[in-house]
């Protein structure tokens, strides 16, 4: 069997998400959710192919956004188009502002065969995905700013996004994968003007973080 066939990914019961407080769209209350959701007592690693079809579980996905603000205060964001060979087939040809992917058993921190800190595993998985997908050629600061949930489509029903914003000092982020195409930084105004081209999670983040009602700096 190949790694893809046997991949075990980090999930939580959808019921736990509802207990924490179900929402549709974007929530900035990261502490409320992640403290409970990254508890090894509630997380599981289950076969990815099964989880893609089982809405009774949510796969936790780091969703990393690269933002650059120039000296004049103009904000641009790294974006790209998903090629047909990249990740989730249902998102192919969609424009995205998020880099990231599944946390798997490759990322698990263990002591004596027991998982001890799912937060460490989550961070390791996020870093692995970043290293695989992009090269960050700039100094940066990073913050976890929110969560995305979209139960209005089949992909969203089985995933829960954790949004991280990387503020880069220079707009120097390049793709490491051939399936990350048409990539580069674009002004947020341009992206907001073409929301219909974007995958749903990117639409949610663009409106929540950069839209007219946003409090983002």
CATH architecture of 3-210: Alpha-Beta Complex (3.90)
* Beta-strand pair 114-115/173-175: unpaired
DSSP state of 190: H
- CA distance linking residue 179 with residue 84, whole number of Å: 7
Q: Helix, strand, coil shares of the chain as percentages rounded to 5?
A: 30, 35, 30
Q: Comparing C-alpha atoms, which of 129, 103, 127 is closest to residue 37?
A: 103
The per-residue pLDDT string of the chain (217 residues; one tens digit each, 9 = 90 and over) reads 444 457 899 999 999 999 999 999 999 999 999 999 999 999 999 999 999 999 999 999 999 999 999 999 999 999 999 876 545 455 457 899 999 999 999 898 655 556 667 899 999 999 999 999 999 999 999 999 999 999 999 999 999 999 999 999 999 999 999 889 999 999 999 999 999 999 999 999 999 999 865 654 4
Q: Is 41 left (phi over 0), alpha (psi -120 to 50) or beta?
A: alpha
* Residue matched to tokens 């929301």: 195
Q: Comparing C-alpha atoms, which of 83, 89, 162, 80 is closest to residue 126?
A: 162
Domain definitions of the chain by residue range: 3-210
* Residue matched to tokens 């007592």: 41
């Amino acid at each position: 069997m190949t790694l893809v066939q046997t991949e075990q990914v980090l999930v939580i019961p959808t019921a736990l998400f509802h207990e924490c407080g179900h929402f549709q769209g974007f929530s900035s209350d990261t502490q409320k959710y992640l403290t409970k959701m990254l508890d090894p007592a509630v997380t599981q690693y289950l076969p990815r192919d099964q989880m893609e079809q089982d809405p009774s579980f949510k796969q936790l996905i780091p969703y990393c956004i690269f933002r650059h603000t120039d000296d004049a205060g103009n904000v641009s964001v790294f974006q790209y188009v998903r090629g047909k060979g990249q990740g989730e087939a249902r998102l192919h040809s969609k424009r995205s502002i998020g880099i990231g992917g599944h946390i798997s058993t490759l990322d698990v921190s263990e002591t004596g065969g027991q998982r001890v800190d799912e937060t460490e595993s989550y961070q390791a998985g996020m870093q692995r995905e970043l290293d695989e997908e992009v090269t960050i050629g700039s100094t940066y600061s990073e913050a976890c700013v929110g969560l995305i949930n979209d139960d209005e489509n089949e992909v969203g029903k089985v995933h829960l996004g954790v949004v991280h914003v990387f503020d880069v000092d220079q707009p120097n982020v390049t793709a490491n994968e051939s399936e990350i195409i048409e990539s580069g930084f674009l002004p947020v105004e341009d992206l907001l003007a073409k929301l219909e081209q974007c995958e749903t999670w990117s639409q949610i983040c663009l409106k929540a973080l950069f839209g007219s009602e946003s409090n983002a700096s």
